[in-house]
Amino acid sequence: MKKDIHPEYKEITVIMTDGSEFKTRSTLKADSLRLDIDPKSHPAWTGVHRLVDSGGQIAKFNKRFAGFGLKS
């Protein structure tokens, strides 16, 4: 392998949405990683569907198409 081209590989702490933690190894520069969505809260695994609007996309969609509808 070439020298000095690979990122540092170190142990980090992953913090789940419920506060539980586990350790893994990563090239992430920070010492910890806090998850917004994980297998305990993701609808694909839980079967409970809820909207997560972290970027305001749903609000933008509703605002854009608020006047769109069928005329009677």
Would you write out the chain's pLDDT as a tens digit for each of its 72 residues?
A: 688 888 889 999 999 888 899 999 999 999 999 988 777 776 666 666 666 666 777 788 888 888 777 555
Give domain limits for the chain. 1-44
> 1-44 sits in which CATH class?
few secondary structures
The helix/strand/coil state of 14 is strand
Residue-level pLDDT at 44: 67
Vertex 8, ends 5 and 24: CA angle to 5°? Answer: 140
Residue-level pLDDT at 10: 94
- CB burial of residue 38 (10 Å; 0-12, 13-18, 19+): middle
- Measured CA to CA, the distance from residue 16 to residue 22 in angstroms comes to 8
Residue-level pLDDT at 63: 83
Residue-level pLDDT at 45: 67
State the DSSP H helix or E strand holding residue 11, giving kind and residue range, or none if neither.
strand 10-15
Residue-level pLDDT at 59: 80
